[in-house]
Amino acid sequence: MNKGDLMKLVYTKKELQNIDSGIPKEYWKGHDTSTHVMNYNGSSAFGEFENMIHKKTLDGRTIVKFKQWLCSLHFGKYPNGITAMYLKDLEDGEPVATCTVNVMEHYGILAPMGHVIIKEYSDNIGMTQALIDSKIIDEIIYQSIPIGYGDCIIKTCKLIIDIPKEITYDDVLNLLPDTTSLIYVDRNESFDDHQDILQNVITNNNYDLLHEKISDWYLEHELNSVDAIIKELSDELQIKYKLTEEQCEDIIEKHRDSITDKIYERSDDTTFEDLLRNTSTIIAHYDTGYEMAPDSWNWTNAKVKTERVKMKKFLSIKRTNHDYDDSIDIMIRQATYGGNLLIYFNLDFDELDKSGVEIIKSIQFENAHIGIIDHFNGSGDITDLPKHSFSVPFDRENLFLEKSIKYNWTYSIAGMCHDWCDSTSVKYLKDNIGVAEKSPTIQLQKNEEIYNAAYKLGICSYGDMDINRHRKTTYKNDIPCGNHCGDCGTFWID
């Protein structure tokens, strides 16, 4: 570091306007011209001859010139609690020398209160005078200790500067806010395109995947927030305890893991709730386990009536109540591929979570929208039951978000508006009223996973009716005509 660089560390820009790096010739003898300047900032017209190492840097560091190095002085502790002093290069912060020596354990020598023991041998010869020149120590007591093949000199000296307060982890924590915010959820961010993840939470009653996904989405944002909080913490340490930036960095690095843990612990983030609040209406259906056979278009009126009576009993509609007979008959006839009896409603995910999916035994519906739906063929029909209430056994595996089903009624088959089943009200109950039949959609979803996995491997599966997962399809204009997959043999009849 040259003289000009040292001046910039010691004086402000305004002060530098009245600092002369050139000194009169009469001061050359007996003074280190590389650290002395003429200071004309005072009242004297002749200026003051000033040694810069007697000043502190603008950021509060004490300056020491040891041999050819301009250094900053730092304090620490030996493992037994004795005060240690060491020097770092003023320019790049690299270690230069350790000023003190710890001779208590081996030689029983302990410095009096307010004193330190200076190492004055080997590479440290000249250390004592360097510290005296910087007005850090005085009152030298010479002692020698046997090291190696001879005696080495140590010097017990009185400190004439205050030892900076040792900043503890508790001191740092006192400056950390009581609450921290790490993640900002924009109003456009939601689960709208990730309802497969919510479906996984419902089916498996496992939030781990959900939280892993949220962590992946916001990891960079979260880490940046932690870094910003630590930077603010470092700045506050610097101001409160009059530390250098380097000293603050040392303190932060010493406790970084604990500080980071505490920042996460004090986080008031509600990321999941925020994403859920921003998510559009979640339309779901519950598969009651009731199954209707196919080919209802060809049924006699008597068979339709039989199915209706059976369905009304399942839905707890009194046999003498004929308010819904016509609409149920139409639904039965138009659900020509058959299917399962589904109840459609707007899912309040938070309410479901608070009710405890694992302890819900039954589910009650009122003003329900119902349908006989076949998710394999993408067909069915719906109706509603205004002013009617009923309960069915609950099985979480039978609860599906519409967007998680490939051929779902709301979006794929019928293209319904978002509020079409708003009137259905839901209550989750702990009353055990039986066991629900497993939904065929469970196996359908597993098949979808298998088909998708095969497609990613570059192959297709016989029986997979999604033509987009087959790469070699051709149209056959024979009888029967339709598309044929040349790889697996799947056929789509017209």
Per-residue model confidence (pLDDT) at position 419: 94
pLDDT over 70 at 112, yes or no: yes
Distance from C-alpha of 489 to C-alpha of 185, rounded to nearest angstrom = 48
Do both 155 and 295 map to the same domain?
no
Do both 292 and 427 map to the same domain?
yes
Per-residue model confidence (pLDDT) at position 104: 87
Q: Give kind and range of the element (H or E) at residue 138.
A: strand 137-147
At 236 the three-state DSSP class reads helix
Do both 242 and 358 map to the same domain?
no
In a domain, 447, yes or no: no
Per-residue model confidence (pLDDT) at position 292: 97
Do both 379 and 301 map to the same domain?
yes
Mean pLDDT, rounded, for 398-421? 94
Of 74, 114, 129, 63, nearest to 97 (Cα)? Answer: 74
Name the E strands within 334-378.
339-346, 362-374
pLDDT over 80 at 146, yes or no: no
CA 419 to chain centre: 34
Last residue of a domain, one of 258, 278, 298: 278
This prediction's pTM: 0.64
Distance from C-alpha of 138 to C-alpha of 115, rounded to nearest angstrom = 9
Distance from C-alpha of 234 to C-alpha of 244, rounded to nearest angstrom = 10
Per-residue model confidence (pLDDT) at position 358: 79
In a domain, 288, yes or no: yes
In a domain, 126, yes or no: yes
Q: Which two tokens stand for residue 492?
A: 């789509």
Last residue of a domain, one of 107, 136, 159: 159
Tell me the pairing of strands 115-119 and 399-401. Answer: unpaired
Q: What type of residue is 71? A: C
Domain that holds residue 462: 458-493
Tell me the pairing of strands 63-66 and 69-77. Answer: antiparallel
Do both 367 and 406 map to the same domain?
yes
pLDDT over 70 at 148, yes or no: no
DSSP codes, 46-80: T-EEEEGGGSB-TTSPBEEEETTEEEEEEEEE-TT
pLDDT tens figures, 159-215: 999 887 778 899 999 999 999 999 999 999 998 888 888 998 888 877 888 888 899
Do both 411 and 366 map to the same domain?
yes
In a domain, 452, yes or no: no
pLDDT over 70 at 365, yes or no: yes
What's the DSSP call for residue 469? G
Do both 478 and 346 map to the same domain?
no
Do both 70 and 188 map to the same domain?
no
pLDDT tens figures, 323-363: 999 999 999 999 999 999 999 999 998 888 788 777 899 99
Distance from C-alpha of 41 to C-alpha of 216, rounded to nearest angstrom = 58
Per-residue model confidence (pLDDT) at position 60: 82
Q: Are the CB atoms for 87 and 81 separated by under 8 Å?
A: no
Do both 296 and 273 map to the same domain?
no
Using 50, 70 and 90 to split pLDDT, how confident is the model at 139? confident
Do both 377 and 403 map to the same domain?
yes
In a domain, 449, yes or no: no
Give the other-Cβ count within 10 Å of 311's Cβ.
20
Do both 292 and 256 map to the same domain?
no
Do both 265 and 287 map to the same domain?
no
Distance from C-alpha of 382 to C-alpha of 164, rounded to nearest angstrom = 78
In a domain, 95, yes or no: yes
Residue 480: cis peptide before it, omega within 30 degrees of 0: yes
Per-residue model confidence (pLDDT) at position 410: 96
Q: Which two tokens stand for residue 420?
A: 């079409």
- Apex 250 CA angle, 245 and 255, nearest 5: 125
Last residue of a domain, one of 22, 37, 54: 54
- CA separation (Å) from 292 to 300, 374, 390? 15, 10, 19
Percent of the chain that is helix, strand, coil (3-state, to 5): 35, 25, 40
What's the DSSP call for residue 411? I
Share of the chain above pLDDT 70, in %: 99
Tell me the CA end-to-end span of the chain in Å, nearest whole number: 86
What does the radius of gyration of the chain's CA atoms come to, in whole angstroms? Answer: 40
Q: What type of residue is 321? A: N
Residue carrying the six token digits 């409603």: 345
Per-residue model confidence (pLDDT) at position 149: 61
In a domain, 372, yes or no: yes
DSSP codes, 301-326: HHHHHHHHHHHHHHTT--TT--TTHH
Q: Are the CB atoms for 68 and 2 separated by under 8 Å?
A: no
User: Looking at the 3D structure of the chain, how many domains does it have?
Assistant: 5
pLDDT tens figures, 258-308: 999 999 999 999 998 899 889 888 999 999 999 999 999 999 999 999 999
Share of the chain above pLDDT 90, in %: 70
Q: Which two tokens stand for residue 84?
A: 């240690």
In a domain, 298, yes or no: yes
